[in-house]
Amino acid sequence: MTREEIFEKVKEVLVDALAADDDEVTAEATLEGDLGAESIDYLDIRFKLEQEFDFKIADGELFPDDVGRNSEFVQDGKVTATGIAAMKEKLPHIDFTAFEANPEVGKVSELFTVDTLVSFVENKLAG
Amino acid sequence: MWIDRITELVPAERMVAIKNVSLAEDHLHDHFPRTETRGALPVMPASLILEGMAQTGGVLVGHAGAFREKVILAKISKAELTREAMPGSTLRYTATVQRMDSRGAATMGTVDLLDHAGSGTFEPIGEVNLMFSFLDQNMGAAAGFPDHNFVFGDAFKTILRTSGIAIPGEDD
Protein backbone atom coordinates (compact mmCIF):
# COMPACT_ATOMS: atom_id res chain seq x y z
CA MET A 1 0.00 0.00 0.00
CA THR A 2 1.45 3.40 -0.95
CA ARG A 3 1.68 6.30 1.49
CA GLU A 4 -1.02 8.10 -0.51
CA GLU A 5 -3.34 5.12 -0.21
CA ILE A 6 -2.69 4.94 3.53
CA PHE A 7 -3.39 8.68 3.81
CA GLU A 8 -6.77 8.26 2.08
CA LYS A 9 -7.78 5.47 4.46
CA VAL A 10 -6.56 7.39 7.51
CA LYS A 11 -8.53 10.36 6.26
CA GLU A 12 -11.69 8.24 6.07
CA VAL A 13 -11.08 7.08 9.64
CA LEU A 14 -10.69 10.66 10.88
CA VAL A 15 -13.69 11.99 8.98
CA ASP A 16 -15.73 9.24 10.62
CA ALA A 17 -14.25 9.40 14.13
CA LEU A 18 -14.05 13.19 14.46
CA ALA A 19 -16.92 14.22 12.19
CA ALA A 20 -14.30 16.26 10.32
CA ASP A 21 -14.78 17.65 6.83
CA ASP A 22 -12.76 16.04 4.04
CA ASP A 23 -10.82 19.21 3.32
CA GLU A 24 -9.90 19.73 6.98
CA VAL A 25 -7.96 16.47 7.06
CA THR A 26 -4.62 17.57 5.65
CA ALA A 27 -1.29 15.90 6.39
CA GLU A 28 -0.26 18.78 8.69
CA ALA A 29 -3.54 19.03 10.63
CA THR A 30 -3.17 18.32 14.36
CA LEU A 31 -5.70 15.87 15.74
CA GLU A 32 -6.60 17.96 18.76
CA GLY A 33 -6.03 21.58 17.74
CA ASP A 34 -7.23 21.41 14.13
CA LEU A 35 -9.60 18.47 14.08
CA GLY A 36 -11.04 18.78 17.60
CA ALA A 37 -10.12 15.34 18.94
CA GLU A 38 -10.91 14.72 22.62
CA SER A 39 -9.51 11.99 24.84
CA ILE A 40 -12.05 9.29 23.92
CA ASP A 41 -11.47 10.01 20.24
CA TYR A 42 -7.92 8.65 20.54
CA LEU A 43 -9.36 5.28 21.54
CA ASP A 44 -11.93 5.52 18.75
CA ILE A 45 -9.19 6.32 16.21
CA ARG A 46 -7.16 3.38 17.48
CA PHE A 47 -10.11 0.98 17.16
CA LYS A 48 -10.95 2.26 13.69
CA LEU A 49 -7.33 2.00 12.47
CA GLU A 50 -7.19 -1.58 13.76
CA GLN A 51 -10.35 -2.39 11.85
CA GLU A 52 -9.32 -0.58 8.68
CA PHE A 53 -5.81 -2.02 8.46
CA ASP A 54 -6.39 -5.34 10.21
CA PHE A 55 -3.66 -5.07 12.84
CA LYS A 56 -3.60 -4.71 16.61
CA ILE A 57 -2.34 -1.61 18.39
CA ALA A 58 -1.07 -2.08 21.95
CA ASP A 59 -1.63 0.41 24.78
CA GLY A 60 0.76 3.32 24.38
CA GLU A 61 1.93 2.22 20.94
CA LEU A 62 0.15 4.93 18.97
CA PHE A 63 -0.28 7.68 21.58
CA PRO A 64 1.68 8.05 24.83
CA ASP A 65 -0.45 6.88 27.73
CA ASP A 66 1.69 7.67 30.76
CA VAL A 67 3.52 10.94 30.14
CA GLY A 68 1.28 13.08 32.33
CA ARG A 69 1.16 10.55 35.14
CA ASN A 70 4.84 9.86 35.55
CA SER A 71 6.69 12.40 37.69
CA GLU A 72 9.99 11.39 36.10
CA PHE A 73 8.61 12.44 32.74
CA VAL A 74 7.14 15.80 33.67
CA GLN A 75 8.56 18.53 35.85
CA ASP A 76 7.42 22.15 36.13
CA GLY A 77 5.00 21.74 33.27
CA LYS A 78 7.66 20.48 30.87
CA VAL A 79 8.46 17.03 29.60
CA THR A 80 11.90 16.05 30.90
CA ALA A 81 14.74 14.69 28.80
CA THR A 82 13.93 11.26 30.27
CA GLY A 83 10.31 11.69 29.21
CA ILE A 84 11.25 12.72 25.69
CA ALA A 85 13.67 9.80 25.41
CA ALA A 86 10.94 7.40 26.57
CA MET A 87 8.46 8.83 24.07
CA LYS A 88 11.00 8.66 21.26
CA GLU A 89 11.62 5.02 21.99
CA LYS A 90 7.93 4.14 22.17
CA LEU A 91 6.75 6.38 19.34
CA PRO A 92 9.24 6.19 16.48
CA HIS A 93 6.59 7.48 14.05
CA ILE A 94 6.73 10.94 15.61
CA ASP A 95 9.13 13.76 14.81
CA PHE A 96 10.13 15.42 18.09
CA THR A 97 12.52 18.01 16.61
CA ALA A 98 10.34 21.10 17.07
CA PHE A 99 8.92 19.88 20.38
CA GLU A 100 12.35 19.45 21.97
CA ALA A 101 13.02 23.17 21.66
CA ASN A 102 10.10 23.91 24.01
CA PRO A 103 8.78 20.68 25.53
CA GLU A 104 5.72 22.05 27.35
CA VAL A 105 3.27 19.36 28.41
CA GLY A 106 0.45 21.31 26.81
CA LYS A 107 2.18 21.02 23.46
CA VAL A 108 2.37 17.21 23.48
CA SER A 109 -0.92 17.08 21.60
CA GLU A 110 0.60 19.11 18.78
CA LEU A 111 2.90 16.17 18.04
CA PHE A 112 -0.04 14.20 16.75
CA THR A 113 -0.88 15.13 13.21
CA VAL A 114 -2.59 13.27 10.41
CA ASP A 115 0.86 12.65 8.95
CA THR A 116 1.90 11.02 12.24
CA LEU A 117 -0.88 8.49 11.89
CA VAL A 118 0.08 7.80 8.28
CA SER A 119 3.69 7.14 9.36
CA PHE A 120 2.47 4.92 12.17
CA VAL A 121 0.37 2.81 9.80
CA GLU A 122 3.18 2.70 7.25
CA ASN A 123 5.60 1.40 9.93
CA LYS A 124 3.09 -1.15 11.17
CA LEU A 125 2.36 -2.50 7.71
CA ALA A 126 6.08 -2.74 6.99
CA GLY A 127 6.35 -4.90 10.12
CA MET B 1 -33.60 2.20 34.62
CA TRP B 2 -34.31 2.72 30.94
CA ILE B 3 -34.45 -0.96 30.12
CA ASP B 4 -37.04 -3.29 31.63
CA ARG B 5 -35.58 -6.70 30.97
CA ILE B 6 -32.58 -8.33 29.40
CA THR B 7 -33.80 -10.99 26.99
CA GLU B 8 -30.48 -12.29 25.69
CA LEU B 9 -26.86 -12.09 26.72
CA VAL B 10 -23.96 -13.66 24.89
CA PRO B 11 -21.07 -12.63 27.15
CA ALA B 12 -18.65 -10.13 25.61
CA GLU B 13 -20.51 -10.36 22.29
CA ARG B 14 -24.11 -9.27 22.29
CA MET B 15 -26.97 -8.24 24.53
CA VAL B 16 -30.64 -7.66 23.84
CA ALA B 17 -32.94 -5.71 26.16
CA ILE B 18 -36.49 -4.45 25.94
CA LYS B 19 -38.22 -1.35 27.21
CA ASN B 20 -41.98 -1.03 27.39
CA VAL B 21 -43.10 2.54 26.78
CA SER B 22 -45.89 3.42 29.21
CA LEU B 23 -48.15 6.40 29.62
CA ALA B 24 -47.61 5.98 33.37
CA GLU B 25 -44.15 7.49 32.89
CA ASP B 26 -44.37 11.12 33.94
CA HIS B 27 -41.94 12.44 31.38
CA LEU B 28 -44.26 11.44 28.54
CA HIS B 29 -46.75 14.01 29.82
CA ASP B 30 -44.25 16.75 29.14
CA HIS B 31 -42.93 15.31 25.91
CA PHE B 32 -44.83 16.85 24.25
CA PRO B 33 -47.57 18.69 26.14
CA ARG B 34 -50.73 20.10 24.60
CA THR B 35 -50.38 23.44 22.84
CA GLU B 36 -52.98 25.93 21.67
CA THR B 37 -52.95 24.40 18.22
CA ARG B 38 -52.73 20.65 18.92
CA GLY B 39 -53.33 18.06 21.60
CA ALA B 40 -50.65 16.39 23.72
CA LEU B 41 -48.21 14.17 21.84
CA PRO B 42 -46.67 11.66 24.24
CA VAL B 43 -43.61 9.99 22.68
CA MET B 44 -40.51 8.44 24.18
CA PRO B 45 -37.77 11.11 24.12
CA ALA B 46 -34.96 10.20 21.72
CA SER B 47 -32.40 11.06 24.41
CA LEU B 48 -33.88 8.36 26.65
CA ILE B 49 -33.81 5.85 23.79
CA LEU B 50 -30.09 6.59 23.57
CA GLU B 51 -29.84 6.05 27.33
CA GLY B 52 -31.60 2.70 26.91
CA MET B 53 -29.01 1.67 24.37
CA ALA B 54 -26.24 3.02 26.61
CA GLN B 55 -27.50 0.85 29.47
CA THR B 56 -27.74 -2.17 27.16
CA GLY B 57 -24.23 -1.68 25.81
CA GLY B 58 -22.91 -0.66 29.21
CA VAL B 59 -24.15 -3.82 30.92
CA LEU B 60 -22.81 -5.94 28.05
CA VAL B 61 -19.37 -4.36 28.37
CA GLY B 62 -19.44 -4.28 32.18
CA HIS B 63 -20.48 -7.94 32.38
CA ALA B 64 -17.58 -8.91 30.08
CA GLY B 65 -15.20 -7.57 32.72
CA ALA B 66 -17.12 -9.02 35.68
CA PHE B 67 -18.21 -5.45 36.55
CA ARG B 68 -14.72 -4.57 37.76
CA GLU B 69 -14.48 -1.57 35.44
CA LYS B 70 -16.41 1.66 35.86
CA VAL B 71 -17.90 1.71 32.38
CA ILE B 72 -18.81 5.25 31.34
CA LEU B 73 -20.57 6.31 28.16
CA ALA B 74 -17.94 8.47 26.48
CA LYS B 75 -19.08 9.02 22.93
CA ILE B 76 -22.13 8.64 20.72
CA SER B 77 -20.49 7.74 17.42
CA LYS B 78 -23.76 7.43 15.55
CA ALA B 79 -27.42 7.92 16.41
CA GLU B 80 -30.21 7.63 13.89
CA LEU B 81 -33.85 7.15 14.81
CA THR B 82 -36.49 7.13 12.13
CA ARG B 83 -39.74 6.66 14.04
CA GLU B 84 -41.40 7.78 17.27
CA ALA B 85 -42.04 5.27 20.07
CA MET B 86 -45.57 5.80 21.35
CA PRO B 87 -46.97 4.62 24.71
CA GLY B 88 -48.02 1.00 24.49
CA SER B 89 -45.14 0.06 22.22
CA THR B 90 -42.03 -1.96 23.03
CA LEU B 91 -38.49 -0.92 22.19
CA ARG B 92 -35.83 -3.55 21.67
CA TYR B 93 -32.16 -2.66 21.98
CA THR B 94 -29.53 -4.98 20.51
CA ALA B 95 -25.94 -4.04 21.33
CA THR B 96 -22.95 -5.84 19.81
CA VAL B 97 -19.35 -5.42 20.91
CA GLN B 98 -17.37 -4.14 18.00
CA ARG B 99 -14.06 -3.74 19.80
CA MET B 100 -13.00 -3.95 23.43
CA ASP B 101 -9.62 -3.60 25.13
CA SER B 102 -8.17 -2.57 28.48
CA ARG B 103 -9.16 1.10 28.02
CA GLY B 104 -12.67 0.90 26.69
CA ALA B 105 -15.10 -0.53 24.20
CA ALA B 106 -17.05 0.32 21.08
CA THR B 107 -20.53 -1.10 20.51
CA MET B 108 -22.87 -1.13 17.55
CA GLY B 109 -26.56 -1.12 18.23
CA THR B 110 -29.90 -1.46 16.54
CA VAL B 111 -33.20 -0.18 17.90
CA ASP B 112 -36.38 -2.04 16.95
CA LEU B 113 -39.96 -1.11 17.73
CA LEU B 114 -42.93 -3.36 18.32
CA ASP B 115 -46.13 -1.41 17.78
CA HIS B 116 -48.73 -3.65 19.38
CA ALA B 117 -51.47 -1.93 17.40
CA GLY B 118 -49.48 -2.17 14.17
CA SER B 119 -47.75 -5.04 12.44
CA GLY B 120 -47.26 -6.98 15.68
CA THR B 121 -43.61 -7.61 14.87
CA PHE B 122 -40.42 -5.76 15.73
CA GLU B 123 -39.36 -3.36 13.01
CA PRO B 124 -36.01 -1.54 12.87
CA ILE B 125 -36.24 2.16 13.72
CA GLY B 126 -32.63 3.14 14.22
CA GLU B 127 -28.96 2.58 14.84
CA VAL B 128 -26.94 3.78 17.81
CA ASN B 129 -23.18 3.20 18.00
CA LEU B 130 -21.43 4.05 21.24
CA MET B 131 -18.04 4.19 22.90
CA PHE B 132 -17.44 3.39 26.53
CA SER B 133 -14.45 4.42 28.58
CA PHE B 134 -13.12 2.45 31.55
CA LEU B 135 -12.80 5.28 34.00
CA ASP B 136 -9.97 3.99 36.19
CA GLN B 137 -7.86 2.92 33.21
CA ASN B 138 -8.08 6.32 31.56
CA MET B 139 -8.23 8.74 34.47
CA GLY B 140 -6.11 6.87 37.02
CA ALA B 141 -6.25 6.97 40.80
CA ALA B 142 -5.28 10.64 40.80
CA ALA B 143 -8.74 11.53 39.50
CA GLY B 144 -10.09 10.70 42.96
CA PHE B 145 -12.98 8.42 42.04
CA PRO B 146 -14.11 6.06 44.80
CA ASP B 147 -12.98 2.43 44.77
CA HIS B 148 -16.44 0.90 44.67
CA ASN B 149 -18.09 0.54 41.30
CA PHE B 150 -20.68 3.31 41.51
CA VAL B 151 -21.65 2.83 37.87
CA PHE B 152 -23.31 -0.52 38.37
CA GLY B 153 -25.51 0.09 41.38
CA ASP B 154 -28.51 -1.74 42.78
CA ALA B 155 -30.80 -0.94 39.86
CA PHE B 156 -28.44 -2.66 37.44
CA LYS B 157 -28.04 -5.65 39.73
CA THR B 158 -31.79 -5.94 40.07
CA ILE B 159 -32.38 -6.04 36.35
CA LEU B 160 -29.66 -8.64 35.90
CA ARG B 161 -31.21 -10.83 38.58
CA THR B 162 -34.79 -10.38 37.38
CA SER B 163 -33.58 -11.28 33.90
CA GLY B 164 -32.02 -14.47 35.22
CA ILE B 165 -28.42 -13.43 34.68
CA ALA B 166 -25.83 -14.26 37.31
CA ILE B 167 -23.71 -11.32 38.45
CA PRO B 168 -20.05 -12.27 38.10
CA GLY B 169 -18.33 -12.18 41.46
CA GLU B 170 -21.61 -12.13 43.42
CA ASP B 171 -23.69 -15.04 42.18
CA ASP B 172 -20.87 -17.40 41.19
Nearest residue to B15 via CA among B50, B69, B60: B60
Q: How far apart are CA A116 and CA B48, in angstroms?
A: 39
Residue with the bigger pLDDT between A13 and B172: it is A13
A56 has a pLDDT exceeding 90: yes
- Give the one of B75, B138, B140 whose C-beta lies nearest to A44's C-beta: B75
pLDDT of residue B168: 84
Over residues B23-49, the pLDDT tens digits come to 999 999 999 999 999 999 999 999 999
pLDDT of residue B30: 92
Query: Which residues 42-101 on chain B approach chain A with CB closer than 8 angstroms?
Result: 74-75, 77, 98-99, 101
CB B70 within 8 A of CB B145: yes
Mean pLDDT of chain B: 93
- % of chain A at pLDDT higher than 70: 97
Strand partners, B92: B18, B112
Q: How many CB atoms lie within 10 A of CB B86?
A: 18
**Residues in chain A within 8 Å Cβ distance of B140:** 69
pLDDT of residue B116: 92
**Residues in chain A within 8 Å Cβ distance of B102:** 59
CA dihedral (B97, B100, B106, B112) in degrees, to 10, reads: 10
A1-60+112-127 fold:
1.10.1200
Please state at what angle helix A3-18 crosses helix A39-53, rounded to 10 degrees: 140
Residue A84 corresponds to which amino acid? I
Task: Read off the pLDDT of each residue in B79-103 and give the average, rounded to a whole number.
Answer: 96
The residue extents of the domains of chain A are 1-60+112-127, 64-110
Cα dihedral sign, A60-A47-B134-A36 = positive
Confidence of residue A27 (pLDDT cuts 50, 70, 90): very high
B120 has a pLDDT exceeding 70: yes
Task: Read off the pLDDT of each residue in A117-124 and give the average, rounded to a whole number.
Answer: 94
B142 has a pLDDT exceeding 70: no
Residue with the bigger pLDDT between B52 and B120: it is B52
Residue B15's SS3 state is strand
Is B133 at the interface with chain A, CB within 8 A? yes
CA dihedral (B125, B11, B163, B127) in degrees, to 10, reads: -10
- Residue B169 to residues B58, B63, B132: CA-CA distances in angstroms? 17, 10, 22
DSSP secondary structure, B46-72, as one string: HHHHHHHHHHHHHHHHHHHTTT-S-EE
Task: Read off the pLDDT of each residue in A76-87 and give the average, rounded to a whole number.
Answer: 89
- % of chain B at pLDDT higher than 90: 81
Q: Do B75 and A40 touch (CB under 8 A)?
A: yes
Question: How many angstroms separate the most distant Cα atoms in chain B?
Answer: 57
pLDDT of residue B20: 98
pLDDT of residue B139: 76
DSSP secondary structure, B78-113, as one string: EEEE-S---TTEEEEEEEEEEEE-SSEEEEEEEEEE
pLDDT of residue B64: 95
User: Is B31 in the active site?
Assistant: yes
- % of chain B at pLDDT higher than 70: 98
Nearest residue to B73 via CA among B99, B44, B49, B50: B50
Is B138 at the interface with chain A, CB within 8 A? yes
Q: How far apart are CA A56 and CA B97, in angstroms?
A: 16
- Give the one of A44, A51, A69 whose C-beta lies nearest to B142's C-beta: A69
A→B contacts (Cβ < 8 Å), by residue, are: 17, 39-41, 43-44, 47, 50-51, 59, 69
Q: Do B77 and A41 touch (CB under 8 A)?
A: no
Catalytic residue among B27, B31, B63, B148: B31
Confidence of residue B144 (pLDDT cuts 50, 70, 90): confident
Q: How far apart are CA A1 and CA B64, in angstroms?
A: 36
Nearest residue to B64 via CA among B107, B40, B118, B100: B100
Confidence of residue A68 (pLDDT cuts 50, 70, 90): low
Distance in Å, alpha carbon of A13 to nearest chain B alpha carbon: 12
pLDDT of residue A107: 87
Domains along the sequence of chain B with CATH: 5-29+41-146 (3.10.129.10)
- Give the one of A40, A50, A51 whose C-beta lies nearest to B131's C-beta: A40
CB pairs under 8 A between A and B: 29
